[in-house]
Structure 1
Amino acid sequence: MLIYFFIGCAVGVLIYFLRSKRSKKKKNNLSIIPFLGIAFAAGNYLFFSQETNVYPSGENSVVNLISCIAFAVILLFAYGISNHIANIGEKAIKNYHQLQNEGTSKFSALINTIFISLLLLSLSFSLFIDQRLFFLSFVLMFVYQIAKRTPEKRFLRFQKILATSKIRSLAIGLVEIEGKITAGEKLISRLGKKECYGYIYYEYNVSTNKEGKKSYHQTLCEKKINNFTMTDDSGSIQILAADKPLVHLGINPHQDLEYNNKRFKEYILEADATYLLIGSAEPINDKIVITHSAPHYLLGLSPQDYVVRWNKARPFRRNATIIVIIALFVIFSILAIPMEYQDGILTLYFNNTSSSW
């Protein structure tokens, strides 16, 4: 039966490839690949394999009817599973390109993407295989999210390391400055039509469950930021932010609206706010500018008061993370290792760990 699964997957790959070549505007879904694989394997098992015990005794018409119903149910489940696997694949591709844009090497980005994809697949299906594997996957995902190097985490780490420099005395390399935006090509925000130097606009679909709890699914993210100038008490410098990934932390939403099962949120860069900015200072046309470039591939800003609050709360977050990790390890040990408590003595049976469940 496995050979028919691979034949179905091969047909799915062929159809996916042909559709992608024929129409670039129409969205092409990767779910067709595992879906056809499951469909081919199930069809062979139900209709063509006479050696299985799936066929009950009775008239051929009854047998065929039962087989058709079983095949339809399998296709329904296959459709859901295939969509889920395809979503994981699309997220993996997006994650790979994002890591590339952040300056990660191709090999490291590939290993990271494979690891997180396998972890997501394990979380999705390991509960039906082994509960210990599911719990281990959950713990690994938790640790991965803590250890994952995102641009936001790198920004907060570097602001702790770097000293705030005066614009007049900037050195070449990764720098941190503090000042206000004083010049640049202004934009009009999408919400509120307010003048700004850049905006980040989000749209979400809003759904409500039976308990009245709302959940939000992002459907659109539009970032439009032009080059601008930052000024402190020692001078000014141009920030080349147009068409660059820009980290924005701690900025309060300029507008946050919700109606007709839609949510609209927007952040803007204003002239009257004091920002802490980190980026790479380099000479371009005999002038020092700050931009997003190698080797750090980091350009971001945050209100100065947000950074102060984050630094004050950092020890509490670190201690809470350590406590949670220890608690998860203890819970996993209790679930995975057989033990017996008798006459005040706790005995752990490490040799029987694999057969405890």
Structure 2
Amino acid sequence: MNDIIEFLLKNEADTPQVIFFMFFSCGIAIFHTVILGGLFNLKFKPWLFFVLNPLSLLIVSVIDKRLVLPLLLLHFISVFLLGIIGAIYSGIRSVNKEKKEIAKIKRKYNAKETPLWKKIAGILLMILFFISFFFIGIHAFLLLFLIVPVLSSFFPSNKSRFLKYQKVLPTAAIRSVAMGLAEIEGTLEMIKPVVSPIKSKECIGFRYRIEKISSDKDGRDSFSTIFDEITCNPFYMVDETGKIEVNPDKMEFVYVPEDEQYRGSGKRYTQFILQPNDKMLLIGKASLKENNQPVFEYEDIKKVFAIAPVDKVKYYNTYKPLLNSFILFTCFFAFIASLILISPIRIENDTLIIDPPKFIANIDANTVIEQDHVNQDHVNEDIKEANATEAGQATKNEVAPEDDTKPNQDSF
């Protein structure tokens, strides 16, 4: 390091070199302007660095021309340092800006904050995934694909419970609905409207989703949800026999059709709304309010409370069994095909014979091969020892005649 500093300070720039370095510093000024203005979001005159960089070199050349080259090198290094620091700063600033935007939206629509235990659980799962990826590599993704379905079966969502119970629960008439877990069907009636965030539509309730748009090198877009909340006022469910008030707290929208969608600022905004006279299916708990008036609300034992369009539920019940059968038969045929591929196949007397897989035989064969390798290693070691012994004996035989001749030479 001292040698480099000594080399830089030893060379004195002449006047033509100083002029050239001043023009060169104008090119560096372009990067300074872009980095400080774009990444750090600083406000200054665009011509500032085009004056400051050459002027600093000129002043230094008047003081000591040996400092011109070190100062130019310092300008050059500052571009890389400012670029790295600016990229980190810009990333942190964009994350904070996004958090403030989401917090503002949550305050506007009275959205609930994510529970602390869910945040901690998400961080722990991410850490476990990275640890498993460090130890088992790419197989961590396969492990993830196995764990997610298992966790989904043990911890079903509100939506999955709704789809499960709608198959087995009978649809009750609203006038005669029994207290407890129940399924009702009817049209919606508004009590007090809410205003949707897109186009300010009056409705019973809405689901508002914001997704961040990411594009790959081929131009394909992918979306990650950064905000997804439901806002709904109490409403009535009406059928031929009567109506019942619905308390929408913890109610989930299932297959509610998309109403509006647009893109802007690298995000996609989507809105789903409930309108009066929509024909819906609702599963939850029928209970009584303090004034003994019936109300439909969240079922806290079965943990289910969701609403879905009747036609969407019928469509699901029609085609979901077909999809399940297709998946089942596909897995079955894939299993059979894999067995055939690993099974011994031979032809005898113009007959194709498929023998059962011999997993144990293969293991035994591998064991025999490994044992043969071990035995061969022992044989090779014995051969090496024998060769070494023969070589030693041959050396002794060559040395012995020389020893025998010594007395004869001494006798002369």
For normalisation by structure 2, the TM-score amounts to 0.51
Which residue of 1 is the match for residue 358 of structure 2? 348
Given residue 137 of structure 2, which amino acid in structure 1 is its aligned partner? F
Aligned mates of 1:95, 1:151 — CA distance in 2: 19
SS in 2 for 1:159: helix
Aligned mates of 1:187, 1:146 — CA distance in 2: 36
Which residue of 1 is the match for residue 177 of structure 2? 170
Change (3 A) 1:277 1:163: same
Aligned structure 1 segments of 4 or more residues deviating by more than 6 angstroms:
95-98, 116-119, 330-335
Match of 1:196 among 185, 203, 211: 203
Flag the structure with more relative contact order, 1 or 2, with Cα contacts below 8 A and sequence separation at least 6. 1
User: 1:255: how far off?
Assistant: 0.7
Say if 2:217 is the partner of 1:210. yes
Given residue 118 of structure 2, which amino acid in structure 1 is its aligned partner? K
Which residue of 2 is the match for residue 259 of structure 1? 264
Which residue of 2 is the match for residue 128 of structure 1? 137
Aligned mates of 1:352, 1:137 — CA distance in 2: 29
Change (3 A) 1:118 1:329: farther
Trace 1:221-300 onto structure 2 (pairs within 5 A).
221-241=228-248, 244-285=249-290, 286-300=292-306
User: 1:211: how far off?
Assistant: 1.2
Which residue of 1 is the match for residue 372 of structure 2? none
User: Does the CA contact (< 8 Å) of 1:278 and 1:299 recur in 2?
Assistant: yes
User: 1:315: how far off?
Assistant: 1.5
- Compare 344-353 and 169-178 and name the one that shifted more: 344-353
SS in 1 for 2:276: coil
Which residue of 1 is the match for residue 315 of structure 2? 309
Change (3 A) 1:272 1:262: same
Match of 1:320 among 318, 321, 326: 326
Aligned mates of 1:231, 1:135 — CA distance in 2: 48
RMSD over aligned Cα, in angstroms? Answer: 3.8
User: Does the CA contact (< 8 Å) of 2:230 and 2:252 recur in 1?
Assistant: no
Given residue 238 of structure 2, which amino acid in structure 1 is its aligned partner? T
User: Does the CA contact (< 8 Å) of 2:175 and 2:241 recur in 1?
Assistant: yes
For normalisation by structure 1, the TM-score amounts to 0.58
SS in 2 for 1:152: helix
SS in 2 for 1:153: helix
What is the total number of aligned residue pairs between the two structures? 244
**Structure 2 gap segments, 5+ residues each:** 1-113, 347-352, 368-412
**Structure 1 gap segments, 5+ residues each:** 1-89, 99-112
Given residue 200 of structure 1, which amino acid in structure 2 is its aligned partner? R
Q: Deviations over 1:218-242 (max 9, x none)?
A: 111232112111111111111111x
Aligned mates of 2:195, 2:263 — CA distance in 1: 21
User: 1:95: how far off?
Assistant: 8.2
User: Does the CA contact (< 8 Å) of 2:183 and 2:283 recur in 1?
Assistant: yes
User: 1:125: how far off?
Assistant: 4.5
Trace 1:13-28 onto structure 2 (pairs within 5 A).
none
User: Does the CA contact (< 8 Å) of 1:250 and 1:303 recur in 2?
Assistant: yes
User: 1:290: how far off?
Assistant: 0.7
Change (3 A) 1:340 1:153: closer
Aligned identity (percent) is 25
User: 1:322: how far off?
Assistant: 1.8
User: Does the CA contact (< 8 Å) of 2:207 and 2:253 recur in 1?
Assistant: no
Aligned mates of 2:343, 2:243 — CA distance in 1: 70
Q: Flag the structure with higher helix content.
A: 2
Aligned mates of 2:258, 2:130 — CA distance in 1: 35
Which residue of 1 is the match for residue 118 of structure 2? 94
